[in-house]
Amino acid sequence: MESFIEEVRGRLSTASRVTVLTGAGISADSGIPTFRGPEGLWKNFRAEDLATPEAFERDPKLVWEWYNWRRELIAAKEPNPAHRALVKIESGMEARQGRFRLLTQNVDGLHGRAGSRNVIELHGNIWKVRCTGCGTVTEDRRVPIPIPPHCASCGKMLRPHIVWFGESLDPRDMDRAVEALENCDVMLVIGTSGVVQPAATFASTARGAGAFVVEINPDASSSAAQIALRGRAAEIVPQLV
């Protein structure tokens, strides 16, 4: 393990372009449950049955109640050493004119709070709402949000500004992500199960374009990685700086 960590540290220190993909696992060390972990359940509902456009159409109040529960849970949490280590890697890259891109599937906003700058939030942000009528996106940090919330300009119902299961990513985010994957020397894949598309294919895209892919996860996930560092993000990522 120690020699693998040394190798990754060495590669990061000479890379000119680094791309990182993070998933719920990096925030698990901040105390935010992953969807598939034992604490991912809410009132016996699975996240996959609530984070969908069909669920919102059927019962918007139920979906908003679930988001209020998640907002309350996330509001109390702080970035952990893994989030902070990524900020250090980014600053180090910038100091030597390198390029750093952080793609995250997380909606908790913890990368931004830690100080990361080049973040693409592929699945949106739990602190933003979008009008189902006029499409306006606004920040709304109320916990709880009064249910159901309505748009200040057109009066239609608001929904979380989140990419739900079955919905497509913003094409501009997708383009930026693919560009970052096809043009990196090193890719870190941290705390993602690789079952949610399209992020699941990101590691092989980078590997196919010649990147050295490193996975950090306590369990096996991405088969595209040359090196798998088995362990918790908050323990492993700081050692890569």
Q: What is the binding site for Zn ion (CB under 5 A)?
A: 131, 133-134, 151, 154, 156
The dihedral sign for the CA sequence 129, 75, 52, 148: negative
Residue 123 designated active-site: yes
- CB of 70 or CB of 98, closer to ligand NAD: 70
- For residue 100, the SS3 value is strand
In whole angstroms, give the CA distance from residue 182 to residue 19: 10
The tokens describing 101, both together, are: 């891109």
Judged by CB under 6 A, the residue of 20, 184, 196, 240 near ligand NAD is 196
Q: Is 114 in the site for ligand NAD (CB under 6 A)?
A: no
- Tell me which of Zn ion, ligand NAD, none is bound by residue 151, counting a contact when its beta carbon lies within the kind-specific cut-off of 5 to 8 angstroms: Zn ion
- CB of 26 or CB of 151, closer to ligand NAD: 26
- Tell me which of Zn ion, ligand NAD, none is bound by residue 28, counting a contact when its beta carbon lies within the kind-specific cut-off of 5 to 8 angstroms: ligand NAD
Contact status, residue 23 vs residue 219, Cβ threshold 8 Å: no
Q: How many of the chain's residues bind ligand NAD (CB under 6 A)?
A: 26
- Write phi, then psi, for 119 (nearest 5 degrees): -110, 130
Q: What is the DSSP string of 150-218?
A: B-TTT-PBEEEEE--TTPPPPHHHHHHHHHHHHT-SEEEEES--S-STTGGGHHHHHHHTT-EEEEE-S
Q: Which stretch binds ligand NAD (CB under 6 A): 18-26, 55-63, 87-95, 166-174?
A: 18-26
Count of beta carbons in the 10 Å neighbourhood of residue 156: 14
- CB of 133 or CB of 218, closer to Zn ion: 133
- Residue numbers annotated as active site: 123
Contacting positions for ligand NAD (CB under 6 A)? 23-25, 27-29, 32, 34-36, 105-108, 123, 191-193, 195-196, 217-219, 221, 232-233
